[in-house]
């Protein structure tokens, strides 16, 4: 008789206990679908008057004051960490040899209508306390002073939602897509991995997705056999950037080691290369120089880079 009553009791206990496994479990977040149209380029009506010293963020967003360290980012080539300024704005700090060239390159790309991060170069910035960094300690003093830093502003109005591929995107084959390929060659960006391309969801009443090359640190040098240089005016000036041409297409140079990415800047319609050249030609020498002054280059380097960029613009205009 005891056995007959044991089975229902044990079974009831099993039923009562079974649902408890799911109680308190976190419901996985469902990613929101992208909102609004994808956008790669927006026609700039003010190229000749664009402020390349302050760039897309303008003077109003220029970083200042003392910063609070949040966390270190171990991804990528350069040392990076996140900070918050006195107004609660979040920034990503990049140190090392990519800080200057990325600041300048982002302004040149933005000048002709492409989206770019709000990058600022600070020769000196101050942290409230000194973090224990695993990378980039040589740029940090015991009192919290950081030297030669690029700060990228994190906007509350947009959020990165993914990466895009050079060979698979909504703009492939368009004039604007080809123009961006030319811009990568003009600034000497040899690091053309898809991981360096970002999609940002812009919020608000008119949402859209901005497609941008978000890492331009491998720019303004010369790709050589072993490794690409960055922010080196002598290397950038002496490098031969135009490769083979035909009546319809132009190809630009990239090091042999990066042959898998070389196609990005090859076989570009000459008509599209000349189109972006016409836009660039609207920039004055002073504007081009401002992009490099903002990045902390010396006066001699500013002059050298400015002249080299102007020569490349002229090269585009004379393609045939």
Q: What angle do CA 302, 317, 289 make, to 5 degrees?
A: 15
Tell me if residue 132 falls in helix, strand or coil: coil
- In the chain, what are the domain boundaries? 57-317
The pLDDT-based confidence of 21 (bands split at 50, 70, 90) is: very low
**For residues 37-56, average pLDDT:** 96
- 176-225 pLDDT tens trace: 999 999 999 999 998 899 999 999 999 988 999 999 999 999 999 876 54
Residue 6 tokens read as: 């044991």
Beta strand extents in the chain (DSSP E only): 38-39, 66-73, 80-84, 90-94, 119-127, 145-154, 158-163, 197-202, 208-213, 242-245, 249-252, 268-269
> What pLDDT is recorded for position 10?
43
Residues 6+ apart with CB under 8 A from 200: 115, 158, 159, 160, 161, 209, 210, 212
Is the pLDDT assigned to residue 23 strictly greater than 60?
A: no
Query: What per-residue confidence (pLDDT) applies to 25?
Result: 56
pLDDT tens, residue by residue, 255-305: 655 556 889 999 999 999 999 999 999 999 999 999 999 999 999 999 999
Q: What is the pLDDT of residue 232?
A: 92
Residue 49 CB-density burial (10 A; 0-12 exposed, 13-18 middle, 19+ buried): exposed
For 266, the token pair is 């090859």
Question: In which residue are the tokens 């980012």 written?
Answer: 73
pLDDT digits (tens, 9 = 90+) for 123-168: 999 999 999 998 988 999 999 999 999 999 998 889 999 999 999 9
Query: Do the beta carbons of residue 106 and residue 89 sit within 8 Å?
Result: no
Residue 117 φ/ψ, nearest 5 degrees = -70, 155
For residue 115, what are the contacts with CB-CB under 8 A and spacing of at least 6? 39, 40, 41, 42, 56, 200, 210, 211, 212
> Distance (Å, rounded) from C-alpha 297 to C-alpha 108?
15
Q: Band the pLDDT of 45: cuts 50, 70, 90.
A: confident
């Amino acid at each position: 008789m005891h056995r007959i009553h044991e089975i229902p009791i044990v079974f009831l206990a099993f039923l009562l206990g079974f649902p408890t496994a799911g109680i308190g479990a976190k419901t996985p977040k469902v990613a929101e679908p992208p909102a609004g149209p994808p956008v790669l380029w927006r026609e700039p009506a003010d190229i000749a008057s664009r402020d390349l010293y302050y760039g897309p963020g303008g003077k109003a967003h220029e970083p200042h004051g003392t910063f609070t360290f949040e966390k270190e980012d171990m991804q990528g080539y350069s040392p990076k960490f996140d900070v918050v300024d006195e107004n609660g704005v979040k920034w990503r700090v990049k140190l090392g040899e990519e800080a200057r060239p990325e600041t300048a390159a982002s302004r040149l790309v933005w000048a002709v209508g492409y989206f770019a991060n709000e990058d600022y170069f600070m020769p000196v910035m101050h942290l409230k306390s000194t973090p224990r960094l695993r990378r980039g300690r040589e740029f940090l003093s015991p009192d919290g002073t950081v030297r030669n830093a690029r700060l990228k502003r994190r906007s509350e109005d947009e959020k990165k939602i993914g990466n895009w591929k050079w060979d698979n995107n909504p703009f492939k084959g368009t004039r604007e897509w080809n123009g961006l390929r030319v811009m990568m060659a003009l600034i000497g960006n040899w690091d053309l991995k898809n991981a360096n391309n970002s999609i940002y969801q812009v919020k608000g009443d008119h949402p859209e997705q901005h497609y941008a090359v978000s890492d331009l640190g491998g720019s303004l040098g010369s790709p050589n056999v072993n490794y690409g240089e960055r922010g080196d005016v002598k290397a950038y000036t002496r490098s031969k950037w135009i490769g083979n041409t035909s009546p319809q297409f132009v190809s630009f140079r990239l090091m042999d080691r990066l042959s898998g990415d070389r196609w990005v800047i090859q076989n570009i319609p000459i008509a599209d290369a000349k189109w972006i050249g016409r836009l660039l030609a609207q920039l004055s020498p002073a504007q081009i120089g401002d992009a490099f002054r903002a990045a902390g280059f010396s006066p001699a380097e500013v002059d050298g880079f400015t002249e080299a960029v102007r020569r490349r613009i002229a090269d585009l205009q004379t393609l045939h």
